[in-house]
Amino acid sequence: MTSSELWTRETADRYDTEEAENSAPAVLGPALDFLAELAGDGRALEFAIGTGRVGIPLRERGVPVVGIELSEHMVAALRRKIDESTLPVTIGDMATTTVPGTFTLVYLVYNTISNLLTQDEQVECFRNAARHLEPGGRFVIELGVPPLRSLPPGRTAVPFDVSERHLGFDTFDLVEQILVSHHLTRDGDDGRYRRSNSRHRYAWPAELDLMAKIAGLGPERRVADWDGTPFTQDSPRYISVWRKPA
């Protein structure tokens, strides 16, 4: 049984609207370029494909895409946009669920590995990626760097968005490496706000490299964004690429 929290129907129905900015061509384009280049002439497998924000436009670029997704509600939203024969999706968790065939690329974007709330499950996710990769294939993860340098002494909360329609902040359990993202989102124009939160297990780049090594994958590249900006100690997130030995 996975520790990931399950996306509800209400969350799935709102997802595309709330992520419209991240789906804009100017934002999504560099990620698609990056992933399409790594996939080459092979197939791609997306862990936690969700509503298809990345998988559908990558498929439209000519890369055969297969998905694994835990939430049936997210897949239902995806199915309103593309059929099963064009983009197959298997319901299951990304740590243990397998699909037929092998792939030149397995990818996991937008902090989604943090949905697995234990280190053991995150290690199994790497092993699952390795199982699906062809020799020479790549595993790609996009993940934020925990903003622990922003924590004042004795405090456990860091705001990440303060805007007219949304207030967001993270609280941290520094022992268990768990953060909880809290959201107050304005619904409509009547002054009401919707409250929500989600739990995540954050991980450092070096920890992910060790997980990859356990799974038999070697480091190939780490950059700060999909445009290839060099990763530094001040980068708020990173894209990591590991390769299965040929």
More confident residue, 12 or 236: 236
Superfamily of domain 9-145+203-243: Vaccinia Virus protein VP39 (3.40.50.150)
pLDDT tens-digit series, residues 123-182: 999 999 999 999 999 999 999 998 888 888 888 888 889 988 888 999 999 999 999 999
Structure confidence at residue 158 (pLDDT): 87
Confidence category of residue 1, pLDDT binned at 50, 70, 90: low
112-122 residue pLDDT tens: 999 999 999 99
Q: Answer whether residue 13 shows pLDDT above 90.
A: no
Residue 7 has pLDDT above 90, yes or no: no
Which one has a higher pLDDT value, 5 or 40? 40
Do residues 133 and 102 touch, judged by C-beta distance below 8 A?
yes
Confidence of residue 239 (pLDDT cuts 50, 70, 90): very high
pLDDT at 172: 93
The two structure tokens encoding residue 181? 């993202």
pLDDT per position as a tens digit, 23-64: 888 889 999 999 999 999 999 999 999 999 999 999 999 999
Provide the β-strand partners of residue 185: 166, 194
Q: Which of 102, 96, 99 is nearest to 126 (CA)?
A: 96
Each domain of the chain, given as residue ranges in start order, spans 9-145+203-243, 148-198
Segment 69-98, tens digit of pLDDT: 999 999 999 999 999 999 999 999 999 999
What is residue 89's predicted lDDT score, i.e. its pLDDT? 98
CA distance 167 to 164: 8
pLDDT tier for residue 65 given thresholds of 50, 70 and 90: very high
Question: Is the model's pLDDT at 18 over the cut of 80?
Answer: no
Residue 243 φ then ψ, to 5°: -125, 140
Average model confidence (pLDDT) for the chain? 93
